[in-house]
Structure formats: C-alpha cells, structure tokens
Structure 1
Amino acid sequence: MTSSAERLNPLHLLAAFGTGGLLTLMVYFNGELGRYGNALFSSWAAHGTGTIAAAILLALLWRRRPAIAAGKPRAPLWAYLGGLSGGATVMLTSTAVNTPLALAGTLALGLAGQVVFSLAADRWGLFGLPRRKLSLRDAGALALIIAGSALIILFGMGGAA
C-alpha cells in the first residue's frame, strides 16, 4: 500500500509522457542538423539555442529572483556535469539516428541504456540517491525493454528502403 503522499499524480505521468515526445522531436531535429552538418554542429546548435532561451527566461524572471532562490541549498558541483553528458548525448544520437538504427532504434537503445544506468544508480546509491535493492520486477522490466528494443531494431527495418 502506498500513502497518499506516495500516490502517482496523473499530471506527473502526463508530463513524463510529454517529455518522451519532446525527446523524440529533439533527437529527430538534432539528427537532421547532424545530417546536414555534423554531430558537433548539431550539439552546438542545440545547446546554443537552449542557452539563448534560458537567458531570455532568466531575464524575464530576474525580478522574482529572491523568491525563487529563497531557502534552496546550492547544487553540488558534480550536478553541473549534466551539460557534458547532454552534449555527448546530442552528438551520439545525431550520429546514430542517421544510421540504419533510425529514430526508433536510437530511442529504443537509449531507453534501454537509461534503464540500465538508473537501476545501477538505485542499486549503488550513485549521486546521493538512496540505495535500493533491485527486485525481480526490475529485472523483468529490463528484459522486456531489451526485447522490445531488439524487435524494433532487428525486425523494424522491413519497411526501410
């Protein structure tokens, strides 16, 4: 049984689902930039655009700055490494999406990699996460994701020209 504080909020589920759709668009757009330029160009373009958008948002929110930051602790220094992994992710997906893996195969393997890493992070308490013993359900979910990825990659190319 879960308490009311632990129940899933439908809006959170919808936000997570929407994030998956936005991730798919991002990988596609970055793949197109990579096709016409290269992987490094697609990463610079994506992060440059994001930097400009963030700067505009920060400028709009600057007046509310004390209210936003009040009572929040500073992020650990390692948290800023997300930009490095983001840049690498854009370059790798921009390259992979323009191979026979295509968009679906790239995302399927990306999802499998995310699940493997997140299970490892849970198991060993990486990055300050609470340690969690992995269950048979976790192994089953991982097996289904890997099997689905294999189906997409091995049998999903039938319609490719």
Structure 2
Amino acid sequence: MHSTPQNHAHPLGFLIAFGTGGLLALMVQFNGALAHYGNSLFASWTAHAAGTVAALLFLLVLPRRRPSSQPRPPAPLWAYLGGLSGAATVVLSSMAVNSPAGLPGTLALGLAGQLLFGLVADGWGLFGLPKRRITFRDFAALALVLAGSLLILLAGKGAA
C-alpha cells in the first residue's frame, strides 16, 4: 500500500525538529566529553542512567491517561531494538567526536547515515513504515548532505 506524503507541514513540526537537532548536538558533545575523561561505555551508561531518571520524573509529573476499553496489541519485538541502537549511537558518537572529525564531522556523517537509512527504510517499508517511492530528489538531497559532510571533514583538516 502506497501513501502520498503531505506537502503542508505545520511550522511547529519544523521548529521541534530543529530543536531536536540542537539537542542532539549537545548530547554528542556532552557524551564526547564524558568519554574523553572516562571511556565511551561510561558515557553511554551515564547518558542512559540520566535518561532513565528523567523518564521516571516525567512519569511522576505528567497526568496519567485513563486506560481505554480496547486493549492495545503488544509492540513488535523489533520495536525494542531502539534502546540497542540508542546505546550504540552514544558509544560510537562519543568515540567519533574525540577523533579528528570532531563534533561537526560526527554530526554531518551521522546526518548522512540517518538520511541513507531513512531512504532505505522508506523504499522497502521497513519497520511498519508505508512504502514510498524514492525519487531523484531524494538522491540529490543525499548527495548534497554527503558533499557537505566531505567539505566539513576536509576543511576541518586544514584548520587543525
């Protein structure tokens, strides 16, 4: 089943996505600093412990919803892999940010990897996503992100 993407997004969605990108940059920098003074595994455990504490606090503060009369189906097993990929992301980005790539190179290459995986997931309809035909525009966007990543990495080497 093919779905057509909606071309009119709410501006708040763009602001939230932009803010999330800023938070991701902060997270990578903070985890990189933890890894620098400890190691990447320590950075990952610390980040996930802080996230657990924050989630528990949110559960205490946010109002509870009444359960609906219809029981929810159980989540598919692959949905639990999010924690594994999150832990791997923290460990690997903590290592990469302390490499010659630095924070900009780590984020640029991370964005390129996310975009490539997103195109693959959309094209094949992985993880319950609706299949979407990948267009030339998608490949052009990927090429531009990769070119920008290379510029960041190559320009950063000359400045060091």
> TM over 0.5: same fold?
yes
**TM, length-normalised to structure 1:** 0.89
> Of Structure 1 and Structure 2, which has the larger fraction of its residues in helix?
1
Matches within 5 A, 1:88-103: 88-103=88-103
The equivalent of 2:56 in structure 1 is 55
The equivalent of 2:8 in structure 1 is 7
Deviations 1:79-99 (A, max 9, x none): 121010000000000000001
1:156 is displaced (CA, Å) by 2.4
2:131 aligned with 1:131:
yes
Determine which structure has greater relative contact order: mean sequence separation of CA pairs < 8 Å that are 6+ residues apart, divided by chain length. 2
1:7 is displaced (CA, Å) by 1.3
Tell me how far apart the structure 2 counterparts of residues 66 and 32 of structure 1 sit (CA, whole Å).
42
The equivalent of 2:107 in structure 1 is 107
Which runs of 5 or more residues in structure 1 are unaligned?
none
1:15 is displaced (CA, Å) by 0.3
Distance 1:21 1:156, change over 3 A: same
Tell me how far apart the structure 1 counterparts of residues 8 and 27 of structure 2 sit (CA, whole Å).
30
Q: Provide the aligned length of Structure 1 versus Structure 2.
A: 155
Cα root mean square deviation, aligned: 1.9
Deviations 1:109-136 (A, max 9, x none): 0000000100000111100111111101
Tell me how far apart the structure 2 counterparts of residues 147 and 70 of structure 1 sit (CA, whole Å).
52
Distance 1:95 1:70, change over 3 A: farther
Question: Percent of aligned positions with the same letter in both sequences?
Answer: 62
The equivalent of 2:152 in structure 1 is 152
| Helix, strand or coil at the partner of 1:64 | coil
Deviations 1:32-75 (A, max 9, x none): 000000000000000000001111111223x52426x7766543
Tell me how far apart the structure 2 counterparts of residues 159 and 45 of structure 1 sit (CA, whole Å).
32
Distance 1:89 1:141, change over 3 A: same
Task: Answer yes or no: is the 8 Å Cα contact 2:112–2:145 preserved in 1.
Answer: yes
Which runs of 5 or more residues in structure 2 are unaligned?
1-5
